Structure 1
Amino acid sequence: MLSVSNSELIAEIASSSYQWPRTTKPFISAIVRSGGDGEYSSIQNICAASAVEFALGVSFETDTLLILNCCVVIDGSWVMRRVNEVLVGELGGAAVAVFRDDQNIDFCPDAPAVPASQVAGLTLICTAIGHTPVDRLPPVESNEHKLFRGLRHAKTKGGHPEAPAVATPNS
C-alpha cells in the first residue's frame, strides 16, 4: 500500500493565508483509500479550503472515505467536526456541499450562516467507512391516508371536495 499526500492547500497554509483564527475559511482534511481493496490500493491525504471543492473533486465511485475532519469557525472559535456524510445541493443557483457530522448535525462549511435546511436537492455523495447514512426523507403518504384525507375533506366541506382523493395502485 502506498501513502500519498498531495494538496495545494498545504502550501497555502504554509504561506500564512489562514492567519489563524482571523479567517473564516473552512479547513477540510480527509484520508481516502483509492484503488479499492486490492493489492495496489493507496491512501491519500486530501486538504481543501472549500467543501464543494472537496465534494466535487474526489471520485467516490472508486475511492473510499476513511476519515473526514472539517474545521469551521463557530461563535468566533475554531471547532473541528468529524464528518460522516457528504451531500451536495443547490443554493441560489450555485452548488453547495453540506456535511453531516458524527452527531448527525447538518452544516454548510462554505456558508456557515445558512441553515442546511435551505439547501435544495440534497444528494448523498459519500459516507465514511463503517457509517450507515441517516434517512431524512419525509415519510411517504400511504394510499389509505390519502383516501382518509379525501373523505375527511369531503365531510368538512359539505360533501363536495374540490379535488377528491382517488386511490390508484401507483399513487
Structure 2
Amino acid sequence: MRIYGVVGWKNAGKTGLMERLVTEITGRGISVSTVKHAHHSFDVDHPGKDSHRHRIAGATEVLLASRNRVALMHELRDTPEPSLADLLARLSPVDLILVEGYKRDTHPKVEAHRAVTGNPLIAPDDPTVRAVASDTALDLDRPVFDLDDTVAIADFILSEVGL
C-alpha cells in the first residue's frame, strides 16, 4: 500500500488539509484510508451504550457492527501503543493511506504550517518531510505549497507515490 503523511504542530491545519485531500483524491476515483494519531485518550463510544459496558467489563476487543459501518475497539490496558506499521497491517487494501501525525516515523510527509502559531518548521531537520503546505511564503530546499491549494498538494502526493 502507498502511504503518505501530513504532519505539523498543533493548530497548523493538519486535519483540515487531510479532510480536503481525502475529498480531492477520492473524487479522482482513488481509494483512500486514513490513520490519525492522538496524543491523548479518546473514546468512540459512550457510557451506558452496550459496547462501552462490554469494554468497561474487561473485554480486550469490542467489535460494533451495523449495516452502515464496523468499528473495532481494542483496549491496550497494559500493552504498549502499537507501531504505525502494526496499525497499517490491520487496514484493508486501498490505493493510498493518508496518515495524520506520526511525525517521527519514516514514511514521506507534507508538513502543514501556519505562521500565526509561532511554531518552528519540522522540515529543515527532517528529510522525510518532502514538501510544506504553508499560509506564508517560505524559502526551503523542497516544494512549498499554499496551505489552501489542495489540488496542487494532492497532485504532488499522487506523483510522489506513483498514482
Asked if Structure 1 and Structure 2 have the same fold, meaning a TM-score greater than 0.5 normalized by the shorter chain, the answer is no
Give the TM-score, by structure 1 length.
0.23
Between Structure 1 and Structure 2, which shows a larger proportion of helix residues?
A: 2
Between Structure 1 and Structure 2, which shows a larger proportion of strand residues?
A: 1
Q: Which has the larger radius of gyration?
A: 1
Give the TM-score, by structure 2 length.
0.24
